[in-house]
Amino acid sequence: MDHIWEECKIQAFDSETQNLIKAALKDSSAVDLEKLSEAIVDQSLKDRSLCRDAGHICYALVQTEAKHSNTNVFRRNLLTRLQKEFVEREETRKRSVQEWVCVVSFICNIFDYLKVNNTPMTALVDPVYDCLFRLSQPDALLNEEEVDCLALQLHRVGEQLEKMNAQRMDQLFYLLRDGFLLQDNLSSMTRLLLLEVLEFRASGWTLSAAAQRYYYSEVVD
């Protein structure tokens, strides 16, 4: 795991946290892992790009700790904190949609990266679904920010989620389809995102070349 921090975007963390991360990756016992996990979560939830990518670093830290001292302090703390954020999500959403979107992105990112014996954590499956269901409610579909988050997460973890609970995925897509067809006041961007996601899943969580051209030809990288 040499210089994994170069692969991950840890520059977005403040310098103190960056140093802690580097130190922990060298020797996990040299660092207060509880404090580190708090710092990582705090900063990730405030930063749009971090919340989408912090999972990679977290995974590296979990692995290092397990290998080094066979303990799970970092992971346990991370999950406890995440659980707290999850439980308070409705209040968070009322306070700030941006923060709420970060919470969802972060939880999904952790779900994506922190695997247990190469399978995603079962404990997170329903919470992730709950978040996506919330994002599919009529009031949320009115916000492009939330729809964008929904689409992104489905692209990243949709397939894995479906494997772990297909029934809920079906139910989620009923909601999305209904929203797309029946809700009048959606923006055209929202409609486009929803349609793309519907097609994405229908073709087995992949985008055909034609669909790629259709949806992304106008997009400037």
The residue ranges that bind another protein (CB under 8 A) are: 70, 72, 75-77, 79-80, 82-83, 116-117, 119, 121-127, 130, 163-165
Tell me the closest approach of the beta carbon of residue 85 to another protein, in angstroms. 11
Shorter beta-carbon distance to another protein: residue 77 or 92: 77
Largest CA-CA distance found in the chain, in angstroms, rounded: 56
Tell me the closest approach of the beta carbon of residue 5 to another protein, in angstroms. 24
What pairing do the DSSP bridges indicate for beta strands 119-120 and 115-116? antiparallel
Tell me the closest approach of the beta carbon of residue 16 to another protein, in angstroms. 25
Q: How far apart are CA 21 and CA 3, in angstroms?
A: 11
Shorter beta-carbon distance to another protein: residue 13 or 173: 173
Tell me the closest approach of the beta carbon of residue 70 to another protein, in angstroms. 7
Shorter beta-carbon distance to another protein: residue 168 or 201: 168
Shorter beta-carbon distance to another protein: residue 21 or 82: 82
